[in-house]
């Protein structure tokens, strides 16, 4: 099977799992970045099922394994920004055989490595997320890990919202790339229609 057809089939399977678990929502949503969108991905709804978590991330693990064997990337450990990346990092670590850990925000709101997790100098780290939109959390995690001596080699996620565009320099391995609108509040088409925005996520200020 040609690679593009195989990837399309695997992406379709990921979308099916997202829909089956109620993780792919349509409406008017306020994102953590402050931007508005017509789609929101609550991957915690999918990740609550260990079998579905394993299935949706298996193709990502397979592509990462192929990249490692080809010498495209190197991985010694997997880091997941809390909260969304914790289970994703764990499951990819389980499937690939690497240790998984996570970063989290400290009392000041800055991303930090805590709980006794350690970074070896020169350690190759994959950053794993549930959803990547602007990659803000991933890049914050990359900066703190690199300051501790790590080398961030790639990103992985369940859903790539396709909003980061060409500004992303690290290789990205996603279970599915799903386009979703991303508007500044002043330009939001749904606000213009008078449709109220909702915030179904976990952060105090937004999704």
What is the largest distance, in Å, between two alpha-carbon atoms of the chain?
53
| List of residues 6+ apart from 184 with CB closer than 8 A | 35, 36
| Fold entry, domain 3-192 | Rossmann fold (3.40.50)
Output the pLDDT for position 164: 60
pLDDT digits (tens, 9 = 90+) for 42-66: 999 999 999 999 999 999 999 999 9
Q: In what helix (H) or strand (E) does residue 144 lie, and over which residues does it extend?
A: helix 136-147
Q: In what helix (H) or strand (E) does residue 95 lie, and over which residues does it extend?
A: helix 84-96
CA neighbor of 174 nearest in space, from 116, 132, 126: 132
- The DSSP output letter for 113 is -
Mean model confidence pLDDT for the chain = 89
Map tokens 């996520």 to a residue.
201
Domains of the chain, residue spans: 3-192
| pLDDT-above-90 percentage for the chain | 74
pLDDT digits (tens, 9 = 90+) for 141-173: 999 999 999 999 999 999 998 756 556 789 999
Where b means 16+ CB within 10 Å and e means fewer, 7-40 reads: eeebbebbbebbeebebbbeebbbbbeebbbbbb
Q: How confident is the model at residue 12 (pLDDT cuts 50, 70, 90)?
A: confident
Output the pLDDT for position 33: 75
- Give the Cα separation of 100 and 155 in Å (integer): 14
């Amino acid at each position: 099977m040609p690679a593009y057809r195989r990837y399309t089939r695997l992406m379709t399977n990921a979308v099916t799992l997202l829909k089956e678990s109620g993780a792919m929502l349509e409406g008017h949503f306020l994102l953590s970045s402050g931007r508005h969108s017509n789609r929101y991905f609550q991957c915690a709804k999918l990740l609550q099922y260990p079998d579905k978590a394993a299935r949706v991330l298996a193709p990502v693990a397979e592509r990462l394994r192929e990249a490692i064997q080809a010498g495209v990337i190197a991985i010694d450990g997997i880091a997941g920004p809390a909260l969304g990346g914790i289970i994703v990092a764990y499951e990819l670590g389980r499937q690939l055989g690497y240790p998984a850990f996570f970063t989290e925000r400290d009392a000041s709101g800055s991303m930090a490595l805590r709980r006794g997790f350690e970074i070896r100098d020169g350690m190759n780290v994959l950053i794993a997320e549930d959803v990547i939109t602007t990659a803000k959390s991933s890049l914050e995690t990359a900066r703190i890990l690199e300051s501790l001596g790590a080398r961030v080699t790639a990103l992985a996620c369940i859903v790539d919202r396709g909003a980061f565009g060409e500004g992303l320099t690290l290789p990205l391995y996603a279970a599915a790339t799903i386009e979703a609108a991303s508007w500044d509040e002043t330009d939001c088409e749904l606000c213009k229609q008078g449709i109220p925005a909702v915030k179904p996520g976990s952060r105090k200020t937004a999704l």
